[in-house]
Structures are given as structure tokens and as C-alpha cells.
Structure 1
Amino acid sequence: MTTSPLLPLTTADLSPLSPELVLIGSAFALLILDLFISDKNKIWTHLLSLAAMAVVFFMLAAGVGGQGEVFHGMFVRDNAADVMKTVIVLLSGLTLVYGWSYLRQRNQYQGEIAVLIMFATAGMMLLVSAGSLLMAYLGLELLALCSYALVASNRDNGLAAEAGMKYIVLGSLASGLLLYGMSLIYGATGTLSLPGIHAAVAHSDETLLLLTGATFMIAGVAFKLGAAPFHMWLPDVYQGAQAPIALFISSAPKLAAFGMAYRLLEVGVGPMSGQWQLLIAGLAALSLVVGNLMAIAQANLKRMLAYSTVSHIGFLLLGIAGGGERGYAAAMFYAISYAIMSTAAFGAIIALSRKGFEAENIEDFKGLNARNPWMAGLVLCIMASLAGIPPFLGFWSKLLVLGAAIDGGMVWLALLGVICAVIGCFYYLRVIKVMYFDEPVGEPIPGRNDRVLGVVLGVNALVLLVAPLAMNPILAWCQNAFTHIS
């Protein structure tokens, strides 16, 4: 195997990496600055972290730094990376907005939380730009280690500590499976470069070794996505983590995991798609069935959202199983749509929660329309979109991945998806039913004076209704990222 000479890097060479450098530099600066900020002035930590996220968002949206490859192809900034990074940074910023009043009201806001979210976001950005197995693993571990700490950040809560322990134990196992699969791929191809692996796989005789390595890598990807049967961590983590942390775990990392799947499977072992697409189809079918059936039995809303996540990942995998430009574009659109819907769902829990009361049980929403019709209307939009009821965003995203599966010859999988979509409507409509048709229980929830949170949640929920009006440009944005795929 030949290696490229290590030439000195210039500022121009690093320009595609500029958004990541700004975010990581800001996170380190904020980590040090937070040491000198008193507890009563933590708003400055929060505002500065939001400002850093906003700067990086506009850098990505404006294409600052341009596209290209850095570190001899280890880091790749292309159309797909820019689309995913832009949405990831937006969702991470929304996490900070949703989390401020919730954590501050409970005297649990720590500067480390904002810093950890920033580092986790940087890990996701590196992950979706991975041009080699090494960069993919580094980005994944940066995201994972920050996520473990965030879940266990509420040190006085035994449920959070338990969730953090389960997450790190199972996450370490999944990382080991992924790393083992990568080592087998490297052993069969002799290179860590994903394009190099793609070229080597097409002419390699190590079929068994490659298939085994791809299987282990898919297992690692499935864990990060939360696909069945690698979903065991999801319900406990969602329930045990504080609502803003659960919001973060459920949104941006799912889009990053899709990016990892695209890089490792299509860019890396793409010539073996005839084999691994069948495995992806099996994971999709299992996720659709397990996720929907388990969600029906849940009384805790956070656990219900966790199992519904498994079913949504099943729909996302429909697009990957379909393959081709349309399949990946549909899967990316679904990942973006689901991340926005999940952010709104946990945002509603945050908005209705108070110190000493967590609105995380379905019965907590009884009679909500009689007490707060506006909030009930927002929750209606969220649940209808998650259920895939037209004309909400969730309906169109499901329609796209079902069409991609049919185009890929997976008609049986598309039919299963339709059946499971109908089943999934039950537990979402149950939330709507208790809001509008059940009598209120307990004392009325006191009003919240946080106008920023109310405006952000209102916009977040209403986007699910109006986004389909601008769906064609968004879908074209996703399709443009995969025009090179035949």
C-alpha cells in the first residue's frame, strides 16, 4: 500500500474544515471562560454558546470555506456533508434554547452542558464528513462520550445515573462491534480510506471477510440509529435523561448516524450493496414491527417516543434499503423530518413541565384542550405529523421512503411499512384523544412566562404543517447531495 507524502498544511488547505475549527475553538474558550462566571450569571455561558452555534450555522449555510478534502482525504466536505451539518447545528442550537429555562428552573444548569453539546455537535460534523474509517470512528466517539456525560449530568437523580450507566455499557459494546468490523474491512482491503475501500472491494477475493466486516459495521450503525434489535438502550435513556438531553439524543445524532451509514456503506463497501441491503431490509422490518408494537403498551410518553423512534428508524432504513440516488435522498429527508418532529415532541414536554412536575406521562395531557387550547393545538400538530397523517410533514416523508423501497425492488418491505404506519397511528391518536376528550386531572398547570420557549415551540410545531408547502426545494436540496450515485 502506498501512502501520500506528508506535506505541510496551509490555511487554504484547512478552509473546508473552518466550521469545525470555529465550533471546537469556541467550545474550548467557553469551557475556560465558564470557570470565571458565577452561577447567577450563567446566562452568559448560554448566550455565548448560542452565538457560536449561530456563527457556525451561517458559515455552513453560506458555504464559507468551500468544499474539498483535508488530511489526504480523511475529511471530506461535499454537498451531502453540508446539508447534514447545517441541520445538525440548527437542531443543536434548538436544544440549547429549549434547555435553558428547564434546567435553570431546577438549578441544574451547568456550563459543562452547553460545552458538551458543542463538542458532541463537532463530533457529528466530523462523522458526516468522514473520508476514512479512522475519521468516522473519531467523530463517533467524540459524539458518544459527550452523550454519555450529558445523560448522566443530573447527578442527584438515580434514574439518570442508571440510564447513563446502561448507555455507556451498551454503547461501548456497540463501538467495539463497529471497530471490529472496521478492522476486518481494513484487513481485507489494506486501506482505511473509504474511496480506497470502495475500489478494493470491487476486485477483492476476500468475500467472506468483507461480508463479516460489513455485518459488524452495520450492527454498530444500527445501535447508534436505535434500530431493533439494538434498541435496548433507547427507552431507559429517554426516560432517565432530563427532557432537554433526551431532546438532543433523539434528534441531531439520528441524522449523524444516517450520515455514518451513508459513508461506511455506500462510499465504503458500496460494491457489496446487493448483500448488505438485504441485511438493512431485515433491520427495517424488525424495527417497524418491534417499535410499533412496544409503543402501544407504554403509558410514559418519553418511553412511547423512544419505541416510536425505533419504528421511525425502520422507515428511514427503507430508503437506505431501496438504494440509489432516490433512496438516499428520501432517507436523508426522512432523517431531517423526524429530527424536527422529535425536537417538537420533547419541546412540548419541556414547555408543560414545571419544577416538581414532569409532563412525561400520557395521562398528564388529559383535558389539555380545556386548559390551554393553543398548547393542545401544537401537540396535535406534532402527534399528527409523527403518525404520518396528511398534510403534515411526516406523511410526505413516509411516502418518499415507501416509494424509494418500491423502486429498489422491496415491495414486501413497503407493504409492511404501510401496515405498521397504520398501527403506529393508534398510540399517537391516543395522546390526541386524552387532550380533547378526557376530563382534566389534578390542579391546572401554572402558566410559564418564558416567551422565547413559547415562540420557538410554536414555530417548531407549525413548521410540521407548513413545511410541505416548501417540500420541493428541500427535497431537491437532499437529492443534490446524492446526484453522483447511480
Structure 2
Amino acid sequence: MIDKLSWMTIYPELVLLVMACIIALVDLSTTDTHRTRTYVLTLLTLAVVAVLSGMQATDAKSYYGFGGMVVSDSMGNWLKCFASLALMVTLVYGRPYAADRGMLRGGEMFTMSMFALLGMFVMISGANFLVIYLGLELLTLSSYALVALRRDNAVASEAAMKYFVLGAMASGFLLYGLSMMYGATGSLDTTEVFKAIASRKVNHQVLVFGLVFIVAGLAFKIGAAPFHMWVPDVYQGAPTAITLMIGAAPELAAFAIIIRLLVEGLLPLAIDWQQMLALLAIASLLVGNLAAIAQTNLKRMLAYSTISQMGFMLLGLIAGVVNNSTYNAQFAYSAAMFYIVTYVLTTLASFGIILLLAREGFESEEITDLAGLNQRSPLYAGVMAIAMFSLAGIPPLVGFYAKLAVLQALIASGQGMYIALAVFAVVMSLIGAFYYIRVVKVMYFDAPVTASTVSAPRDVRTVLTLNGALILILGIVPGGLMALCADAIVATLAG
């Protein structure tokens, strides 16, 4: 018999699952082309789930349910809360765009996004290899369907096929690596795997062999080079609303499974996986920043930007264990968590502007489409400029403090190699600043290509303004979010 505690550990997931099914049924009787009833119900559900997760996150204790297969802890619940809020913002930005392109003829965009979020929740809560993999598959299968949602568009269909083929390969990598770990340790639970590896009675070569496949699968999911092949094509080919959907909230879930697998399960192998992540970080910073310079398509440029940003986040994860000591772990992992949360916040704003400027029959995907935006709409040009400067790491915006936190974690390790990586990351950030500032230059100093003003629904305008303001406010007073991430990581590591 399943005890009450087990159900309590997953009640945000239960609420999400039940409401996703109810909303799918309610949508069947909706004839409104803008799917207003479905939209409002979805936003209310996401708001409730975010509040439930936030309330659970205030409890510093970790609770295990269903025989230790799922865990409810501070880090996981905060990530669930942020993922729910990110999806809410995504749907607010994406609904007018989707309606103009016939993507709301059914309510699939809302229901599939809720099932994708459910997959993220399962990934975040997983304390068992099988549960984590099931959550990952639910997310990716929903994402494949969302990318192909615009059925009459050949480019979107091509992007969905690429995503599906490469995603299946990456899932195979991850599953094979997890099966190797199971074969070596005899358990699927992360805590039992940790104990088995720490006992040093397991063949180290088998563990490292499995670890290579696990890291490769995880690298694909976050879009780190050299497993980044899908990112530019899918970002550019998918409808922009769906690009934001797969480029924002899922990054939080990807960070969670990196912590669950590599830190909670495979920490005794840190000396091995930290070296792998260091190589991925170097490759991502190089490929992302250098390739982004050559891009004229804004979505493709932001795709390469994502690759470089993920490389920077990985730098935070490699400084946790130094000389077999975990003293630096709380600083390194909390810096990485802070980085991924602020990256998602900034990504929402940048894609929100692209969605806002897109009109029926016009995508507004080229950098030149932003020409003279300041003359047409100073507010939206300001929000985009804030997002670009934050991604570039320019103070006093939150992106600067995110980069600073990661660099501080690297330098605090006292290792010459990590300090050299910090210097390399700063140089790459300077190169990356070029293509972000180019977007600002086009908006403020180029002549506008059209004289039409930019109009937006009230909900989009309000959320976009708050989004831009939050990037600025969290940059001026980052202490609260930094403390939240630090407390969440400390509580999770202690649990």
C-alpha cells in the first residue's frame, strides 16, 4: 500500500496531470479560434501548480516517496515553480502568434505544453534512473509534437524530423549509460548507486564507460557542443512560440537531472565527469560565440547564444569537487542554478520581443527586422536591449551577476586549471558581446524598415514590461535570488 507521504511528494504533478486531462476534455467543446477558455484554464492551473511548488520549496527537508523513487526537496520544488512560471509567460507571449498562424484550431498547444511540463516535473523529482528517463521521454515526445504543430509548414516539419531523429539518438545514449550503471551497481536508485560507487567495490572502467554515455546524453539535452547539432536548426525551423517553449523551461529540468544523476548519484566519480564537462564547456563557449557572430537570422543567433550560455553554466558544475573535497560544492552548484534561472528569465524577454514583432505572414526573424525599433516603440526596444545586455553580461543587469557567480566559484577552487578556464570564459564573453551589442545597434541607430507602430495585447505588454523590469531589478539586488539558490542547493545536498 502506498503511504500518504508518497502522494504528498508528487501532489503538484497530480494536480497538473488531472487538470491537463480536464482541459483537454473542456477544449473539445470550444469553438473560439483564440481558445480563450482553454488559455485561461491553463494559466490558472500553472499558477496554482507554481504556488504549490513554491510552498513545498520553503520546507528545507527532503522527502522520499514510492520506495525512494521520487524526491521532494527545496531545489526541485523551486525549479518546478520557476518552470511553471516560465511556461505561463511563454503561453502569454505565444498565443497571439499561434492564433495568427492557425495553430489554435485545436487546443493541442496548451495541453501538449502541460504534458511537457509534467515531464519536466517528473525529471526534476526523479531519484531513480527509470523515473528520470520516463520524465525525459514525456518531455521530448511532447516537444516533438509541438515543433510539428504547424502542420502546413514544411520548415517546421523538417525541424521536427531533425529533432526527433537526433533526440532519439541522444535518448539511446543516456539509456545505455544508465543501463551500464545499473549493471555495475545493481541498483536504479541514485542514493544506492552513490553508496555502491563510494564503496569502491565496483569496476571503475565499467563506471567510466557508462558515464561517458550519460554525459553525452545530458549534453545533447542542454545543447552543449559538440552535441549541439539540433539547436540552430530546431530554433530556426520551429514556430517561434514553440522555440521559446523548448528553449526556456526545459533548461531548468535539464539542470535538475544533471544534479540528480551526476551529483546525487555519481559524485564519487566527480573527478571523471568534471573533466568531461570542462571539455564540453570549452567547446560550447568556442562554437557558440564564434558561430553566432556570422548569423543574420535572430533566432539562429540566439540558438548559438544558448550553446555558449550552457557552456558557461557547465563551468559552475565543474568546480564542485576539488582534491576530493566538496567544500566548494554549495558555491559552485548554487552559482550554476542561479545562472540557469536568470538565463531562462532573459530568454523569455528576448523571444517575447521576436513574437511581438511577428505579424501574420511575417516572422520578424532577421536581425535587420529590428531596425529602428526604438523609433517605433521605445518600450519594446528598451526591453530587448536589457535582454541583450544581460546575455552579454554587462552590469548592472542580472546576467552580469550570474557570470560573476560562476567565475567566483571557479576562482574559489584555487586550482590553476579552473582559474585559466575563468580567464578563457571572460575572453569568450567579450567576443560574445559583439553579436549582442549588434542587435542593440540595429534597434537604435539603423533606419526603420517600416513606419508602423508596434501594438500588443494588454496581457503581453504587461508581462513583457515586468519581464524586462525583473532582469534589471534582479541585477541591482541579486542577493535574494542568490540566497534562495544557495539555500536550495545546501538543503538538497544535505538531504
Distance 1:13 1:143 in 2: 23
Q: Which residue of 1 aligns with 2:41?
A: 48
Match for residue 29 of structure 1 among 12, 22, 32: 22
Q: SS of 1:14's equivalent?
A: helix
1:369 Cα deviation from its structure 2 partner: 1.4
Give the letter for the 1:206 counterpart. Answer: N
1:123 has 2:119 as partner: yes
Query: Where does residue 140 of structure 1 map in the other structure?
Result: 136
Deviation at residue 247 of structure 1 after TM alignment: 0.8
| Paired amino acid for 2:44 | A
Q: Which of 184, 187, 201 does residue 188 from structure 1 map onto?
A: 184
Q: What is the distance in 1 between the residues matched to 2:134 and 2:48? A: 24
User: Which of 432, 440, 448 is matched with 1:424 structurally?
Assistant: 432
* Residue 324 (structure 2) pairs with residue 331 (structure 1): no
Q: Which residue of the partner structure matches residue 323 of structure 2? A: none
Q: Equivalents in 2 of 1:449, 1:471: separation in Å?
A: 30
Once residues 41 and 289 of structure 1 are traced to their aligned partners in structure 2, the CA distance between those partners, rounded to angstroms, is: 43
Consecutive unaligned residues in structure 1, runs of 5 or more: 1-7
Residue 87 of structure 1: aligned partner: 82
Correspondence list, 1:163-182, <5 A: 163-182=159-178
* C-alpha contact 1:228 1:286 (8 A) present in aligned 2: yes
1:10-67 per-position Cα deviation (integer Å, ceiling 9, x unaligned): 4443112110000011111111221122244621011111111111111112229975
Of 446, 453, 461, the match for 2:460: 453
Distance 1:196 1:430 in 2: 50
CA separation of 1:312 and 1:273: change in aligned 2, threshold 3 A: same
Per-residue deviation, residues 147-202 of structure 1 (Å, max 9, x unmatched): 11111110111000000000000000000000000010001000000000000011
Q: Distance in 2 between matches of 1:101 and 1:19?
A: 28
**1:447 offset after TM fit, Å?**
3.6
Identical pairs, percent: 45
Quote the Cα distance in structure 2 between the aligned partners of 1:303 and 1:269. Answer: 34
Question: Structure 1's 453 and 41: CA in aligned 2 closer, same or farther, altered over 3 A?
Answer: closer
Is 1:354–2:359 an aligned residue pair? yes
- For the structure 1 residues 35 and 189, does the alpha-carbon distance in structure 2 shift closer, same or farther, using more than 3 Å as the test? same
Cα displacement (A) at 1:281: 0.7
* Aligned pairs (5 A) from 1:306-385: 306-323=303-320, 324-385=329-390
TM-score after normalising by structure 1: 0.96
Written as runs of structure 1 = structure 2, the 5 A alignment for 1:277-292 is 277-292=274-289
CA contact (8 A) 1:16 1:65 kept: no
2:449 equivalent to 1:437: no
* CA distances 1:117-174 after superposition (whole Å, capped 9, x unpaired): 1111111111011101011101100111001111111011100000000000000000
Which residue of 69, 76, 87 maps to 2:71?
76
Where does residue 414 of structure 1 map in the other structure? 422
Q: Is the 8 A contact 1:18 1:65 kept in 2?
A: no
Number of residue pairs the alignment of both structures matches = 478
> Could you give the per-residue CA deviations for residues 251-286 of structure 1, whole angstroms, max 9, x where no partner exists?
111111111111000111110101110111110011
1:449 Cα offset (Å): 4.3
The answer to which of 31-40 and 473-482 deviates more is: 31-40
Q: Give the superposition deviation at 1:241.
A: 1.0
Preserved CA contact (<8 Å) 1:337 1:397: yes
Question: Are 2:94 and 1:99 equivalent residues in the alignment?
Answer: yes
Matched, 1:395 2:406: no
2:204 to 207, 213, 238: 207
1-structure distance, mates of 2:318, 2:50:
31
1:319 partner amino acid:
G
Letter in 2 for 1:438: D
Indicate yes or no: 2:219 matched with 1:222. yes
- Distance in structure 2 (CA, Å) of the matches to 1:253 and 1:14: 24
SS in 1 for 2:71: strand
Q: Secondary structure, in 3 states, of the residue corresponding to 1:322?
A: coil
Q: CA deviation at 1:405?
A: 1.8
Is the CA contact 2:129–2:189 (under 8 Å) kept in the aligned structure 1? yes
Secondary structure of residue in 2 paired with 1:100: helix
Q: Which ranges of structure 2 fall in alignment gaps of 5 or more residues?
A: 321-328
CA contact under 8 A between 2:332 and 2:409: conserved in structure 1?
yes
Pick one of 243, 267, 273 that aligns with 2:264. Answer: 267
Q: Check the 8 A contact 1:352/1:445 in 2, yes or no.
A: no
- Pair 65,377 (structure 1): closer, same or farther in 2 beyond 3 Å: closer
For residues 269-318 of structure 1, give each alpha carbon's deviation from its aligned partner in whole angstroms, at most 9, with x where no partner exists.
11010111011111001100110000000000000000000000000001
Looking at structure 2, the residues matched to 41 and 240 of structure 1 have their Cα atoms a distance apart, in angstroms, of 23
1:235 equivalenced with 2:240 (yes/no): no
Asked if structure 1 preserves the Cα contact closer than 8 Å seen for 2:57 and 2:77, the reply is no
